Amino acid sequence: MISQLTGRFLHKTPTRVVVDVQGVGYELQISLNTYSDIQAADSGTLHTYLKVAEDAFTLYGFSEMAEREVFLKLISVSGVGAGTARMMLNSMKPVEVAHAISTGQVKTLEAVKGIGKKTAERIVLELKDKMAQVQAGHQPTSLLPGYNTADKDALDALLALGIAKAPAEQALRKAAAALPAGYTIQDLIKQSLKAI
């Protein structure tokens, strides 16, 4: 699976971007949120999700991991496809989507084009606890038992350095609690190493 792409932005519209990665142009479907983040940039990194269907392969791009996390959670709900999830992220920032779901704001979700009352209620029912983890501007920081991508990557890095799993998990918890909001995976690993 393609997890991220780094390259030059050859063509940008509010719905898609073509990224040149060493001479290969990848077309990614994007939200207005991502478009506003990359509008002035000539190059950069986009986190991605590849949707494989019988008749097409569609690559979705996200300027921040938090948006990708929200998108993946949304499409995990029965009846919510990639198009609907992207429509939600066109209407609201990832943290606003997460807040609306975690606080049970069904009416807010219904205001998004293509979301009916039953779908909004299903989204809240299935994702309320999961979305409560998403914080402004960065990835969920809930460490264990359910890992998110950042937690797992940081844990894998510590294990690769020869640190046993239990001390590594404990160090990650301490590091996440000590770091300010908006920390990166690198910050988490460095702080964890100090905590061991």
What string of DSSP letters covers 56-105?
Answer: -EEEEEESSHHHHHHHHHHHTSTT--HHHHHHHHHHS-HHHHHHHHHTT-
- Quick one: tokens of 19? 């990224």
pLDDT tens for 84-96 read: 999 999 888 888 8
Q: What is the pLDDT of residues 176-186, one digit of tens each?
A: 878 776 677 77
pTM of the model: 0.67
